[in-house]
Chains A and B, each alone.
Chain A
Amino acid sequence: MKELLAVLIERLTPIVFDAIQARQQTQTTPVTREQIVADLTADIDRILGEGDAWRATHPTV
């Protein structure tokens, strides 16, 4: 059980730090509309790509 918890913490902690960093960056950096659109597009492309990559490794689900 301890091993499982350690693995969960190891896997989830970077995700939370990335999210915190992404949010802080959006909240402290001066932005233009064009920059927001570019960042939003990049985020959406990344999320869809991560989902597609998971589906590719789980074709029967």
Chain B
Amino acid sequence: MTSRDRHLILRVVGPPLTVVLWAALLASSCGHQPPTINPADLELWRARQAVIALGTVQRAAIALNETQACTPLPCHPFLSDAHTKLVIDAVGDAVTAIRAAPNGWLAVARSAVQTIRQRVDADPTAARLRPYLVGLDAALEDAQRATP
């Protein structure tokens, strides 16, 4: 993560959400494969790590959508319905593809991140999704590094 990323996180989402993000990053940085996994099954295990990370981003998006922000008035979802749907659609497509072809988990998950990132880059109101993309990137990197 670059200093620019960290600056964006602090500026866009504020300290409390950054704490949440760093908790997720800390968890992913401690990743390692289970003690008795067969090397032939490692890609399948990595696919599940990616699915867990994708599911966490979706749950966070839904939680942010359920949270009402009243500054400025009128009250509105902290994450808009449109941006929540963007995350849900991208995550749903990704996990469906991973179910069909688990060994392709990395390309599929990165494609989901890219789909969301393109929208975030094009729409400043979607910027509060950016820290979750950074966290998802970190989790995918971590899963990819696990070796027998």
Contact = CB atoms under 8 A, between A and B. Distances in A.
Interface of A: 1, 4-5, 7-9, 11-13, 15-16, 18-20, 22-24, 26-31, 33, 36-37, 39-41, 43-44, 46-48, 50-51, 54-55, 58, 61
A3 B110 CA distance: 35
Binding site secondary structure of chain A? helix
Contacts of A46: 55
Contacts of B14: 5
Contacts, number: 137
Nearest to A36: B44
Given A47-B55, A51-B89, 14 more contacts: A4-B69, A4-B78, A12-B20, A18-B56, A19-B27, A20-B27, A23-B27, A23-B52, A40-B99, A47-B51, A47-B95, A48-B96, A51-B58, A61-B81
A40 B51 contact: yes
Given A20-B23, A33-B38, A47 B71 contact: no
Contacts of B31: 23, 27
Interface size grouping (class) on chain B: 35 or more
Given A31-B34, A47-B58, A12 B63 contact: yes
A1 B51 CA distance: 33
Interface string B56-98: 1011101111111111000000100110110011011001101
